[in-house]
A and B are shown apart, each in its own frame.
Chain A
Amino acid sequence: MVADRFPQSKAEALALLAAGGGPVVAGGTDLMVKRRRWSGLAPAIPETAVYVANIAELSYVKRRGSKIEIGGATPLEIILEHPLTPALLRGAIKETGSPGIRNTATLGGNLVNASPAADPALALTCLGASVRLESVKGVREVPVLGLSTGPGRTILNQDELLTAVLVPMDDGWNTAFVKVGGRKADAISKVSFASAVKIDDGIVTAFAVAFGAVGPTILRLPAIERTFVGLSCAEVREREKDIILAYGDVVRPIDDQRSNAHYRKTVALNLLSEFIRSI
């Protein structure tokens, strides 16, 4: 029965997944395209699919301690307009798709779709956000960094549902998001860049950069980032060349129908340079 596939609560959704249901369909803006058929025919989405977009308890933005918690099925446009939304995430969502897509697409869907070019996922990775994965067996919280293992692949188990995203508040941080698409709106990123830095009394106390569309997953390298924490702003700026070299070794994009590897790499490193100089 189709009705069974539209659970009204998180518990119902988890029960369906526990019974072997899936895939999970949230806003459907990626799945409907991937599984599309001849117009007039329903997309080739299995009958076992679990549709979560209508579960009210999974759609919210609220403060939880020092973090913002966003329900997994919250549409991007709601997050964009919410006053609690961190600036970096807001900036990324603003450049995601078109208003029509943003009204339907969800934050959880954007993460689980696991595109290395996803803009909200890039912002969340840079901010050090985590996600709550739930199943009837229990709950776990894992970082967004590492959630995806490749294009379209994640660490989610078949019975798990991404129920919430936990985002550190970025008050006092300097953040920036740059999207480079084939055009100025409604485009898939050819390369994208997010940065977040916290400076106290001229000392860098937190540093994060993330790159989109330059590899099979969103790229963020905490091991490199840690080497800048505790340095003065001037010391970080002085190391621009070394930083570019370090990232140059790991930013390894490909040629495809939207751009080429050389352009992607050059632009990614240009954006990084600009960020370093701005510290």
Chain B
Amino acid sequence: MNDISASIVRCDAAAKISGRAAYVADLSIDGILHAKTVRSTIANGTILDIVIPPLPEGVVIVDHTDIPGENGVKIIFKEMPVFAETEVKYIGEPILLVCGPDKAVVEKIARKIVVTYKEEPGVFAWTTSKSHYAYQKGDPDHAFKTAARIHTETFETGYQEQAYIEPQGMIGYPEAAGKITLVGSMQCPYYVKNAVLGVIACDDDGIRVIQAETGGAFGGKEEFPSLTGAQIAVAVKKTGKPVSLIYERTEDVEVTTKRHPSKITLSAALDADFRVIGLKARVGLDAGAYLGLSGVVLSRSLIAATGAYTIAHLSVEGDAYCTNTVPTGAFRGFGAPQMFYAIEQLMGHLAALAGLDPVAYKRRHLARKNDLTSTQGVFRDPILLPAMIDTVLQRSDYKRKIRAFAKDDAWKGIGLSVFFHGCGFTGSGEATHIKARVRLEKDADDHVIVRIAAVDMGQGSSTALAKIVAGVLERPVATVHVPHPDTDTSPDSGPTVASRTTMIVGGLLARCAANLKEAWVDGMVQTAEERYVQPAFITWDEEAFKGDAYPAYSWGVTAVEVEVDKRTCAVTLKGVWSCYDVGKTIDAILAEGQADGGVTQGIAYGYLENMEIKDGRLKQRNLTDYVIPTASDVCPTDTVFVDNPFAYGPYGAKGLGELTLIGGAPAVTAAIENAIKRRITRIPATPETILELIEHGQD
């Protein structure tokens, strides 16, 4: 059999390249109503009055009074309303929908609606903690008491916008017997369904959710579509008609979730050889107006506190704070990019303190197989970091360059980051919360349909999963079909998040396919199902943050070389080299696509993508002002994947999607520091920030 990594043409390539693929905005239904959201224009206060102009025939207002069930979107809690009632907590909070058949009329009515408020001062300081976690390992107090020296630094990270190509969109329509079907751009059809069930107060079969072709998500379509899905379901329930809610780009940038800004204070206890013997981490995340997934994001941040290193004594705590700003949420990396930025920067600065090369210093601390993780779980699988670092050093010519740049007056620099990503849900989440199920359906022509809830949002999962199933069945990939998830026909294999799709869903499908293969009868209609069973070795105490936080870890090393323009402080990328251990790539080109996109998004997080907020209002509200890299900004990337098969992953595969982003920001920041000989503690390191550092910064 061919190596599973050998690349094939993507299953969705023809439809997408030809323009045939139907995204939610492409769907048209006779008699559909177009919905426009009327939103809070203040950051904090209460609604005193809403004046609605006379409504033309066919135009309907949908607000909280139309909700048959609970006015709360189930994410973890239900604290975020579907529509504001009296309180508004951020600029852009949805108050009502104007729905009508004619967009021009809807737009006019939406503009004429006057909301008056009693405005309160907005809370923008991080004072209201809504989620707090803390854990310890070893004896941190002793480590700090006996330390030869203690080094403390605070790091800050900004917002990041997912900037998926396709803005958020949801369409709903009524079916027989009061059933409502929702079709939308999303990562998690069952999250939408479960959120809507409580809002509509109906039985399980009252809501059907179908994923439309999805043009990018990056986490931005994890929890947010639960809100638009709930709103559209209420609108369909009230009007009895199909209703469409498609965001414009500016609206999408202003009101949808983004990466949490963070402030992370790290104290390292060093022995006489400058070795880190203890670490204290204090993490703050800005959750925005509603907590949403922020507690879970925080927990992933905290678990990553030691980075890719083993540190014996730890004291870690953190809070997610609510403020009167747009809610933050899931974004590729999910709390890890902030933490890895901070710890990698700290390690670089400690190396300088020790008078050592940063890579040599990092090597002294690398986690090894059988070491205890930050949460006292065990790294059970081989960790190939030393060889991966060698690979990147050699391919990037790091050692020669860093020596040359130190002597050179030109502002050139190179930096290297080491990182991991915990694959799948934290702890026993897969077993206790998700309980994934998959089904394979074989028809009389011996074609196999893969029934799962995992979505292909552009990352290529339908191709990867089809390859896994076809590979196990030893059948042609063309006979395996992965349709878009539909909650009426697809079992809940869990959300498309946490780099779990290939490893967890793909793993289940591989087992399911093995069973089907064993029972296989040519020409017979057959089905096979499989449920997630947690590997027995995993133990996790959620209260104490103790045990195996993840079933497996993917690892990465990224080096970035930059040149900084002395006149303008603008950064030019000169080279990007990465080495990843994702167990086994299921498709080499798909994996490279994830690697190129991820590292670019991660590097841009570190130096380019800038989003600021003032008094609760974002300053960059469109993709003209919030710039993401173009092809002219990136440089050729050099990517190596090493094989390190994971026993429980299909063909040995572990998580891939998020890992590749995580090392970008710390590597580019280290490179810029190397170039300008100044210390960076805040990202993005924009030219404006670099200028400030040149004028006032520390060496």
- Chain B residue nearest to A274 in the complex (CB): B567
Q: Report B685 CB to chain A, min CB distance, Å.
A: 13
Q: Which of B50-65 contact A (CB under 8 A)?
A: none
Q: Do A267 and B625 touch across chains, with their CB atoms under 8 A apart?
A: no
Task: Please report the C-alpha to C-alpha distance between residue A258 and residue B628 in the assembled complex, in whole angstroms.
Answer: 13
Q: Which residues of A contact B629 (CB under 8 A)?
A: 183
Enumerate B610-646 residues with CB–CB distance to A below 8 Å: 610, 612, 619-621, 624-625, 627-633
Partner of A38, one of B103, B566, B610, B620: B103
- CB-defined contacts of A260 to chain B, threshold 8 Å: 688
Chain B nearest CB, measured from A106 CB (Å):
20
- Range of interface residues on chain B? 20 to 34
Question: Which of A118-126, A185-193, A209-217 faces chain B?
Answer: A185-193
Q: Which residues of A contact B589 (CB under 8 A)?
A: none
The answer to the question of B568 belonging to the interface, with a C-beta cut-off of 8 Å to chain A, is yes
State the Cβ distance, B682 to closest chain A Cβ, in Å: 15
How far in angstroms is the closest Cβ of chain B from A152? 16
Whether B630 contacts A186 by the Cβ 8 Å rule is yes
Cβ-defined contact, B568 with A267, below 8 A: yes
Residues of A close to B566: CB separation below 8 A: 270
Assembled-state Cα–Cα distance A52/B620 (Å): 33
Contact A257 B619, CB 8 Å, known A185-B632, A271-B567? yes
B36 within 8 A of A: yes
Say yes or no: A39-B246 contact (C-beta < 8 A), given A187-B627, A258-B625, A266-B691. Answer: yes
Chain B residue nearest to A37 in the complex (CB): B107
> Is chain A's interface secondary structure helix, strand, loop, or mixed overall?
loop
**Interchain Cβ contacts within 8 Å, total number:** 69
Closest chain B CB from A209 CB (angstroms): 14
In the docked arrangement, what's the CA distance between A11 and B568, Å? 47
> How big is the A interface, by class?
20 to 34
How far, in whole Å, are A274 and B568 apart by their CA atoms in the complex? 11
Any chain B CB within 8 A of the CB of A8? no
Interfacial chain A residues near B610, Cβ < 8 Å: 182
Nearest chain B residue, comparing its CB with the CB of A186: B630
Residue interface bits A252-279, CB-to-B below 8 A is 1, else 0 = 0000011110110011001100100000
Is residue B514 within 8 Å, beta carbon to beta carbon, of the partner chain?
A: no
Q: CA of A120 to CA of B93 in the docked complex: distance in angstroms? A: 41
Instruction: Answer yes or no: B570 CB below 8 A from chain A CBs.
Output: yes
Of residues 556 to 584 in B, which have CB atoms within 8 Å of A's CB atoms? 566-570, 572
Select from chain B the residue with minimum beta-carbon distance to A182. B627
Q: Which one, A184, A257, A263, contacts B687 given CB within 8 A?
A: A263
In the complex where A41-B104, A260-B688, A267-B567 touch, is A185 in contact with B627 (Cβ < 8 A)? no
Determine whether the beta carbon of A183 is less than 8 Å from that of B630.
yes
Q: Which A residues touch B624, using CB under 8 A?
A: 188
Interchain CB contact under 8 A, B630 and A185: yes
If A38-B107, A38-B248 touch, does A257 touch B625 (CB 8 Å cutoff)?
A: yes
Q: Is the Cβ of A41 less than 8 Å from the Cβ of B103? A: yes
List of A residues within 8 angstroms of B36 by Cβ: 38
Residues of chain A within 8 A (CB-CB) of B628 are: 183
Residues of B within 8 A of A37 (CB): 107
Question: A182-B627, A186-B632, A262-B691 given. 10 additional CB < 8 A pairs?
Answer: A37-B107, A40-B103, A180-B570, A180-B687, A182-B608, A182-B610, A257-B625, A259-B688, A266-B691, A270-B567
22 A-B pairs within 8 Å (CB atoms) are namely: A38-B34, A38-B103, A38-B107, A40-B34, A41-B103, A180-B568, A182-B610, A183-B627, A183-B628, A183-B629, A183-B633, A186-B630, A187-B627, A188-B624, A257-B612, A257-B620, A262-B688, A263-B569, A267-B568, A270-B566, A270-B567, A271-B568
A contact set with B: CB distance below 8 Å: 37-41, 178, 180-188, 257-260, 262-263, 266-267, 270-271, 274
